[in-house]
Amino acid sequence: MLDTSPLTAVVERFADRLRAAPQSRLQRGAAAEALEAARELSVRAQRLEDPDAAAAPRLMPEAGIFVVGDQLAVAGQDLAQALRAAAAGPGAGPDGAKAPSEELDEAVRLVERAEVRAMR
């Protein structure tokens, strides 16, 4: 089974920092940065779950600056579950698709970069 703990750890750390952040920081761009990261994690999870889907991935809604930490946490958990399922399934997905471990590493870097930009 693929160890997704690096992803869940970085997502939870960032989500906790967002939940504790003052409103002024969230309004200055931290919430927008986190929402963008959450949306990207969500899209990646949807593509892993159904790589042959004809419809565009569903976009995570903007629910307000005070819930973006929770949105990020949910998207991160969804992606972690999709990565574990993809790693356990037959093959690594459609031709040309990245291996689940590569997707995991990319997702961790994405969240780390978003956290740095949001919390500076």
Q: What is the pLDDT of residues 67-100, one digit of tens each?
A: 999 999 999 999 999 999 999 886 544 555 689 9
Domain boundaries, the chain: 5-119
d(CA 46, CA 85): 12
Prediction pTM value: 0.90
Does residue 103 contact residue 83 with C-beta atoms inside 8 Å?
yes
Dihedral sign from CA coordinates of 76, 81, 84, 89: negative
pLDDT at 119: 93
pLDDT classification of 12: cutoffs 50, 70, 90: very high
d(CA 52, CA 50): 6
CA angle 66, 69, 73 (to 5 degrees): 150
Q: pLDDT, tens digit, for every residue of 26-76?
A: 999 999 999 999 999 999 999 999 888 788 889 999 999 999 999 999 999
- Long-range CB pairs of 23-27 (<8 Å, 24+ gap) are 23/65, 23/66, 25/119, 26/65, 26/66, 26/68, 27/65
